[in-house]
Amino acid sequence: MEEKRRLIMLPGPTNVPDRVILAMMKPMINHRGPEFAALLSSVADGLKYVFETKEGVYVLTSSGTGAVECAISNIIDPGDKVIVPVFGFFSERLKETVTRHGGNVIEVPVDWGKAPTAEQIEAAIKKEKNVKLTAVVHNETSTGVTVRDLPQMAELAIENDALLLADSISILGGDHLPIDKWGVDLCVTGAQKCLACPPGLAMISVAKRAWEVIGKKKVKPPFYFDLPSIREHWLRKETPFTPATLLYYALDESLKMIREEGLENRFQRHATCARAFYSGFEALGLKPYAAENVRSNTVVTATLPSAVDVNKVKDIMKERYNIVITGGLGKIRTLIVRIGCMGAVSEPAVLATINSLENTLADLQYPVKIGAGIEAARKIFHSK
């Protein structure tokens, strides 16, 4: 079965470099032996670099949502107060995960397309007493919004004897997130987003303040997500249960590529590509769904003209131009397109995507000035 190779401009999974895929061409190893121990050590070092932390970062064989549940279930006992700003599909899911583990959700509702602010979180913390955790989706993959106040939210947590959990699944490795400097207590990401790996692994950082709370927890977390056990095994370069070893090789290679590029260069590349996307959208007469000051550098969104059918856009992009993008989620399913600006994203990928979007809109009889989008995007890459 020959699979057609397309440009994957999804908000995850994203294009995986050949180097990363080929790194998986390894013989099986004993995950209780020295080969896996060496692999785990290398991955652990690479993760500390990308998370910008001296604390432990652990790998789970699960999706990113699994790692979010890991964080929640190791912190929250039934009845504990958890502030959750809700401003999209994935923050709804985060709320549901907290509820599932008995947490008392203090919802901070925010319009979709906007981001919660530190002031809103502060007001909620002051109104409620004894908040145990603020759980924030750092980058709302459903709306293309980044919570730019995350450092202030971390400060608020420290001031109010609470913890901060960041679901940074679709942003870590693609934009600034210095865990130790900002003071993020728990941070989660997935392999298949800005780290440009195949899906199947998720990562979680746990700071000292979080370990203190975990140590006092009454109800035990699920066996599969038991952080104290994960840490105990990690210290002897093992995992509690059989890990997806081939995906660890892929992750290790990807982390090497990130170190070769340098974090700052990587963030700059993502930011430039995102600016080019937004500039291209504007030239096509498309408005980003996200408010201007909180637009994401890793997931870009554009509101479609009401006459244009999102499914047709997706299908034409894919079948005619070999580029895979996606539509909205939840209540904005048919209103927007979402494009991943992640991992290996680069000028050719951005220009190809904008160009095809332009052609697709023209194919659908929507009036666009052919060449305007790609020219606007191109200028971003070639201006100082």
Q: Give me the residues that bind a second copy (CB under 8 A), please.
A: 3-6, 8, 10, 12-16, 21, 24-33, 35, 61-66, 69, 73, 96-97, 100, 190, 192, 198-200, 220, 222-225, 240-247, 324, 326
Measured at the CA of 114, the angle between CA 271 and CA 93, to 5 degrees, comes to: 95
Q: How far is the CB of 332 from a second copy (least distance, A)?
A: 16
Q: How far apart are CA 379 and CA 384, in angstroms?
A: 9
Contact 142, 332 (CB under 8 A): yes
Closer to a second copy by Cβ: residue 159 or 232: 232
- Identify the burial level of 176 via C-beta atoms within 10 angstroms of its C-beta, where 0-12 means exposed, 13-18 middle and 19 or more buried: middle
Show Cβ contacts of residue 33 under 8 Å, excluding neighbours closer than 6 positions.
Answer: none
Q: How far is the CB of 174 from a second copy (least distance, A)?
A: 16
Q: How many Cβ atoms sit within 10 Å of the Cβ of residue 153?
A: 27
Beta bridge partners of 139: 146
Closer to a second copy by Cβ: residue 78 or 178: 78
Closer to a second copy by Cβ: residue 27 or 367: 27
Closer to a second copy by Cβ: residue 243 or 373: 243
Q: How far is the CB of 49 from a second copy (least distance, A)?
A: 19
Beta bridge partners of 136: 166
CA distances from 280 to 42, 52, 151, 358, 376 (A): 40, 32, 30, 9, 5
Q: How far is the CB of 116 from a second copy (least distance, A)?
A: 22
Beta bridge partners of 327: 337
Closer to a second copy by Cβ: residue 199 or 305: 199
> What are the φ/ψ torsions at residue 166 (nearest 5 degrees)?
-110, 120
Joined tokens for residue 153: 């939210």
Cis bond leading into 78, ω under 30°? no
Count of positions (residues) in the chain: 384
Closer to a second copy by Cβ: residue 6 or 231: 6
Q: How far is the CB of 292 from a second copy (least distance, A)?
A: 29
Closer to a second copy by Cβ: residue 195 or 294: 195
Closer to a second copy by Cβ: residue 7 or 213: 7
Joined tokens for residue 173: 């490795």
- Identify the burial level of 218 via C-beta atoms within 10 angstroms of its C-beta, where 0-12 means exposed, 13-18 middle and 19 or more buried: exposed
Q: How far is the CB of 119 from a second copy (least distance, A)?
A: 30
Q: How far is the CB of 96 from a second copy (least distance, A)?
A: 7
End-to-end alpha carbon distance in the chain: 46
